[in-house]
Amino acid sequence: MPVFKKTILASSIFTLAFGAAAMAQMDYSAQIAARQGQMDIMALNVGILGNMARGNTGYDADLAQAAADNIFAAASVGHQIAWPAGSDNFDLGDATAALPAVWDDPDGFDQAWGDLRTAAAGMAEVAGTGLDAVQGAIRPLGGACGGCHRNFRQSDD
Amino acid sequence: MRFSRVLLGLIVVGAAAGWLLSAPQPLTAADIPDRSPDVAHGEQVFWAAGCASCHSVEDASGDARLVLSGGRSFPSNFGTFYAPNISSDPQHGIGDWSEADFLSAVMRGVSPDGRHYYPVFPYGTYAHAGISDMQDLWAFLQTLPADATPSRPHDVGFPFSVRRGLGLWKRAFLNEDWVVDGSDLSPQVMRGRYLVEALGHCAECHTPRNALGGLERANWLAGAPNPTGEGRIPGISPAHLNWTEADIAAYLGDGFTPDFDSAGGEMAEVITNISQLPDADRAAIAAYLRALPGG
C-alpha cells in the first residue's frame, strides 16, 4: 500500500512537472507577432492623424480619412485569436507586455476593445471633414488607447 | 548620581520638546477667508489636484471616478496605506466635516480629531495651494455622491504606527518654499509651477525620496523607483525628457507620446484628469517643465 501511494505521488509529481514544462514550451510567437503588428498598424496611422492635429504636418483630407479607416479596421480585428490564455508577460517575460489582467478580467478587456472601436468609429466619421474635427476626435481616441494600456499593458518605465 | 540626574533631566526635556514640536497644527479661523465658494471652479481644482486617482475605486472609469469611496492600496517601505472614503457620506465619508476640517486636512495634514495624516496623502504639496482654491474644491466635493463603504485601516507597523511622530517628519521634510523660485518667471511658468508643485503633486511620484520618505528636492522630477517595486517612474525634467513644450502639452491632453505610443499605467489615469483642464493649463505645465534647470 505505501508503495502504491508512493507511485501515485511520484506520477502526480511527474505529471505536474511535465505539464508545467509543456505549458512553458507552448509557442505563442505567431500570436504575439500578430497582435504587436496590429498595434503597429494603429500607431502608424494614429501618427498620421496626430501629427496633423499637432500642426507638425499639413492637413490632408484624403490621407486623414485613409488613416482613420485603417485604425477602425485594425481595431475591429477580433482579439480572441491573437490573445490565447497563457501568453502574458508573467509566463513569457519580455516577449510580451500583455499583463495577466487581460485574462483575469476578460470583461474589462472586451470593454476596452469596445471603447477603442467606438473612438475609432468617431474618428473615421469626421477625419475627412477638416482639421478641427481631427483635433476633436484625437483625444477620445488617445483616451481609449490609454484606458486599455492603463490596466492591461506593462508600463515600459 | 548627579550624572544620572542630569541625564534624566535631559531625557525629560528632550521628550517634552519632541512632544511640543510634534504637535498637530490645524488651520485657525483667522487663516480662512469668509467667501462664497465657486463650485464650477472647484471642479477644475478637483481635476488639477487628481483626487480621483487615489480616492475612486481601482479601474473606475467615467462617472464612477466621481464616487470617492476609497480602498486603493499604496505599498511602501513603511507599510501599506489604503485610500480612505472621502465621499459625501456623513458616516463613512467626510460629509459631516466643516470647511475648516477639510482645509486643515488637505493643507496641514491634520484630521478633524487632531491627529496627523500619513504623507501618502500629499498635503505637503497641497499646502502650496491658494486657500480659496481649496475652499472651492470643498464645495465641489460636497456635490459628489455619497458611498457607505467603510475606510480600510492602514497596515503600518511600529514605530510608524505612532502618528505623533509624523509631526517631526513634517518639520523635517515639508517645505513652504517653491522649488522653482525667482522674480523673473513668466505668468505662464508661474501658472505651470502652481499646477505642478501645488495641485498636481507630480513630484510625489516623479521625484526620488530619502530613507525616511522625504522628497529629495535637489533631484526634482528626476525620476524615482516605483514604490510598487516594479520598474521606475521616469524623470520629466529637461535632463531626462527631451520632448518639446508642444509635445508635452499635447501628451497631457490626448495621451500620445511624440512617436504616438500611448500613455499607460498610472499616467493614463493622470491624463484622464489633466485632459479635463483648459488647453492653457496643459501649455503652462509644459512651459514649467521646460523652464526647469537644464531646459
B32 and B170 share a domain?
A: yes
In a domain, B147, yes or no: yes
B187 and B98 share a domain?
A: no
Does A133 score more than 70 pLDDT?
yes
Q: What is the mean pLDDT of each run of 10 residues along chain B (295 residues)?
A: 79 87 92 96 98 93 94 93 97 97 97 96 97 98 97 94 93 94 92 97 96 95 87 93 95 94 90 96 98 84
Nearest CA in chain A to B223: A157
According to the model, what pLDDT value does residue A90 have? 87
In a domain, B21, yes or no: no
This complex has an ipTM of 0.79
> Distance between CA A37 and CA B104 in Å, rounded?
52
Q: Which chain B positions have a beta carbon within 8 Å of A151's beta carbon?
A: 59
B102 and B213 share a domain?
A: no
Check if the beta carbon of residue A122 is closer than 8 Å to that of residue A72. Answer: no
What mean pLDDT do residues A11-29 have? 59
> Distance between CA A146 and CA B288 in Å, rounded?
24
In a domain, B120, yes or no: yes
**Between chains, do A46 and B260 touch, taking CB under 8 Å as contact?**
yes
Cross-chain CB nearest to B61 (options A105, A147, A149): A147
B59 and B160 share a domain?
A: yes
Tell me if residue B204 falls in helix, strand or coil.
Answer: helix
According to the model, what pLDDT value does residue B19 have? 87
Closest CA to B178 of B164, B163, B189, B169: B189
Q: Which chain A positions have a beta carbon within 8 Å of B262's beta carbon?
A: 142, 145-146, 149
Q: Which chain B positions have a beta carbon within 8 Å of A50's beta carbon?
A: 250, 254, 256, 260
**Between chains, do B266 and A139 touch, taking CB under 8 Å as contact?**
no
B166 and B181 share a domain?
A: no
Nearest CA in chain B to A46: B260
> Tens digit of pLDDT for each residue in A77-96?
999 999 999 999 988 888 99
In a domain, B206, yes or no: yes
Chain A residues with CB within 8 Å of chain B CB = 43, 46-47, 50, 53-55, 105, 108, 138-139, 141-143, 145-147, 149-151, 153-157
Closest CA to A54 of A123, A121, A117, A134: A134
Q: Of B135, B154, B175, which one is at a domain's C-terminal end?
A: B175
Q: Kindly give the interhelix angle for B245-254 and B265-274, rounded to the nearest 10 degrees.
A: 90
B89 and B188 share a domain?
A: no
**Between chains, do B256 and A145 touch, taking CB under 8 Å as contact?**
yes
State the smallest CA–CA distance between residue A25 and chain B in angstroms.
26
Q: Of B135, B151, B175, which one is at a domain's C-terminal end?
A: B175
Check if the beta carbon of residue A118 is closer than 8 Å to that of residue A72. Answer: no
B61 and B135 share a domain?
A: yes
State the smallest CA–CA distance between residue B98 and chain A in angstroms.
36
B86 and B121 share a domain?
A: yes
Helix segments in chain B, DSSP class H = 2-21, 39-49, 51-55, 99-108, 123-126, 131-141, 166-173, 187-193, 203-206, 245-254, 265-274, 279-291
In a domain, B184, yes or no: yes
Closest CA to B87 of B51, B114, B49: B51
According to the model, what pLDDT value does residue B293 have? 87
Check if the beta carbon of residue B80 is closer than 8 Å to that of residue B74. Answer: yes
Q: Which chain A positions have a beta carbon within 8 Å of B61's beta carbon?
A: 147
- pTM of the entire predicted model: 0.88
**At A129, which amino acid appears?**
T
**Between chains, do B254 and A151 touch, taking CB under 8 Å as contact?**
no
In a domain, B10, yes or no: no
Does A64 score more than 80 pLDDT?
yes
Does A6 score more than 90 pLDDT?
no
B244 and B114 share a domain?
A: no
Closest CA to B249 of A155, A122, A139, A19: A139
Best of B232, B260, B275 to substitute, by most chain A Cβ atoms within 10 angstroms, is: B260
Kindly tell me the burial class for residue A120, based on how many C-beta atoms sit within 10 Å of its own C-beta (0-12, 13-18, 19 or more): buried
Q: Could you give the number of structural domains in chain B?
A: 2
Q: Which residues pair with B256 in a beta bridge?
A: B262
According to the model, what pLDDT value does residue B7 have? 82
Best of A89, A90, A145 to substitute, by most chain B Cβ atoms within 10 angstroms, is: A145
Closest CA to B88 of B140, B41, B153, B37: B140
Cross-chain CB nearest to B256 (options A108, A142, A151): A142
B158 and B196 share a domain?
A: no
B40 and B108 share a domain?
A: yes
**Between chains, do A139 and B254 touch, taking CB under 8 Å as contact?**
yes
Domain containing B157 equals 26-175
In a domain, B13, yes or no: no
Chain B residues with CB within 8 Å of chain A CB = 59, 61, 231-234, 246-247, 250, 253-256, 259-269, 271-272, 275
Q: Is the torsion defined by CA of A26, A30, A33, A38 positive or negative?
A: negative
Kindly tell me the burial class for residue A157, based on how many C-beta atoms sit within 10 Å of its own C-beta (0-12, 13-18, 19 or more): middle
> Distance between CA B111 and CA B154 in Å, rounded?
15
According to the model, what pLDDT value does residue A23 have? 52
B41 and B155 share a domain?
A: yes
Report how far Cα B161 is from the mean position of its chain's Cα atoms.
20
Query: What is the number of helices (H) and of strands (E) in chain A?
Result: 7, 0
Q: Which chain A positions have a beta carbon within 8 Å of B231's beta carbon?
A: 155-157
Q: pLDDT band for position A1 (50/70/90)?
A: very low
Q: Of B159, B175, B191, which one is at a domain's C-terminal end?
A: B175
In a domain, B282, yes or no: yes
**Between chains, do B268 and A147 touch, taking CB under 8 Å as contact?**
yes
Best of B230, B254, B257, B270 to substitute, by most chain A Cβ atoms within 10 angstroms, is: B254
State the smallest CA–CA distance between residue B46 and chain A in angstroms.
19
